[in-house]
Amino acid sequence: MDKVLVLKEINHAFNQKPIFENLNMAVAKNDVVSIVGASGVGKTTLFNIAAGLLTPTSGEVWINGVETTGQAGTVGYMLQKDLLLPFKSVFDNIALPLTLKGYSKAKIEEIVRPQLTHFGLQGLEQQYPQTLSGGQRQRAALLRTYLGDNPIMLLDEPFSALDFVTKDEMYHWFSQLQKRLELTCLIITHDIDEAIYLSDHLYVLKGEPAQLTEHFVIPKHEGFLDSQEYLVLKKQILTAIQSP
Ligand SMILES: Nc1ncnc2c1ncn2[C@@H]1O[C@H](COP(=O)(O)OP(=O)(O)OP(=O)(O)O)[C@@H](O)[C@H]1O
Ligand SMILES: [Mg+2]
């Protein structure tokens, strides 16, 4: 299988306190992988290491067959708090990765305009973030991450700020987008239904130091989400998270 993101024997400690010990993980192209686990277990830290924002005490990160340990800018990364800048318009927020690359205004227009429709943001681009709904803000943050032009995206609780109805719409919208753009996504979430709905694989991060202790392959067949099998799987995942 074609593994686009590989973590090899990752060890990390903060102030002598071990967070990870020999953690291994491999993600295949176009897969959506959810990572669940208790608060404080190390999920965001794992993303920071994978994204090269943090160099682990030891171990290696490989992206598309190249070692990238401690190198930033190798994946798209949507942080746990969607950091839209309040003093910039939605358009300028979204265009930020392109502006940072030094693209001309015309070039930026050419790239961003067609994407506004795909991300359900057309007509909102001149507004400011605080005038958007939570779902619109998260779509803007996702589009900005996508424009970083990386088909591998790490999304840290991307839908956590949304109510139940909006979440449902966003899941559907995101799944379509992921397939159309052939994205490889890692998603951190506390919502098991979300994890099952969105992902092909689910890992439980657990323990001190933390390990990916359980791996579930999520069935995708028609009718699964309304089946007894779904409830059984959800229970298994919850038990895995909660058991010591
Ligand atoms: N820069 C840092 N320096 C020292 N300790 C840190 C640092 N970053 C994180 N930690 C600690 O490492 C542990 C893991 O933090 P992390 O943010 O990865 O947890 P998390 O699983 O993402 O939690 P949550 O679900 O609440 O977001 C926590 O105990 C946290 O206090
Ligand atoms: Mg976190």
Q: Who's near 132: CB < 8 A, 6+ residues apart?
A: 90, 124, 140
Q: What is the pLDDT of residue 82?
A: 66
Domain assignment present for residue 178? The answer is yes
3-class SS shares of the chain: helix, strand, coil, % to 5: 40, 25, 35
Percent of the chain past pLDDT 70, that is, above it, reads 99
40 C-beta closer than 6 A to ligand 1? yes
Range(s) of the domain holding residue 43: 3-75+150-242
| 139 domain residue, yes or no | no
Beta bridge partners of 156: 188
The answer to whether residue 136 scores a pLDDT higher than 90 is no
Instruction: Give the pLDDT score at 33.
Output: 98
- 55 within some domain: yes
Give the pLDDT of residue 1: 59
Q: Is residue 96 in a domain?
A: no
Res 103 pLDDT > 90: yes
The CA distance from 21 to 7, in Å, is 12
pLDDT band for 149, please (50, 70, 90 cuts): confident
Segment 113-123 shows an average pLDDT of 89
Q: How much is the average pLDDT of 135-153? A: 88
91 assigned to some structural domain? no
Q: Is residue 116 part of a domain?
A: no
pLDDT tens digits for range 151-181: 899 999 988 877 777 788 889 889 998 998 8
Query: Can you read off the two tokens belonging to residue 238?
Result: 């919850």
Show the CA angle centred on residue 82, arms to residues 141 and 123, nearest 5°: 40
* CB-CB contact of 126 with 111 (8 Å): no
CA of 44 to the centre of ligand 2 (A): 4
Query: Ligand 2 centre from 41 Cα, in Å?
Result: 8
Residue 33, SS3 per DSSP: strand
Banded model confidence at residue 54, pLDDT cuts 50, 70, 90: very high
How many CA atoms within 13 Å lie on the side-chain side of 22? Answer: 0
Taking only the tens place, the pLDDT of each residue in 70-93 is 999 899 998 877 678 999 999 999
Output the domain CATH number for residue 64: 3.40.50.300
Most distant CA pair in the chain, distance = 55
- In this predicted structure, the answer to whether residue 10 has a pLDDT above a threshold of 70 is yes
**Nearest Cα to Cα of residue 52 among 61, 64, 44:** 61
Q: Is 42 in the pocket of ligand 1 (CB under 6 A)?
A: yes
- Using CA positions, which residue lies closest to atom 30 of ligand 1? 40
Give the distance (Å) from ligand 1 centre to CA of residue 16.
Answer: 14
Whether 89 maps to a domain, the answer reads: no
Mean pLDDT for the chain overall: 93
pLDDT at residue 67 is higher than 70: yes
Helix (H) or strand (E) holding 204: strand 201-206
Would 195 be classed as within a structural domain?
yes
Number of domains into which the chain is organized: 1
Which tokens go with 52?
A: 């090269």
Question: Where would I find the H helices in the chain?
Answer: 43-50, 90-100, 105-118, 134-147, 164-180, 192-198, 228-242
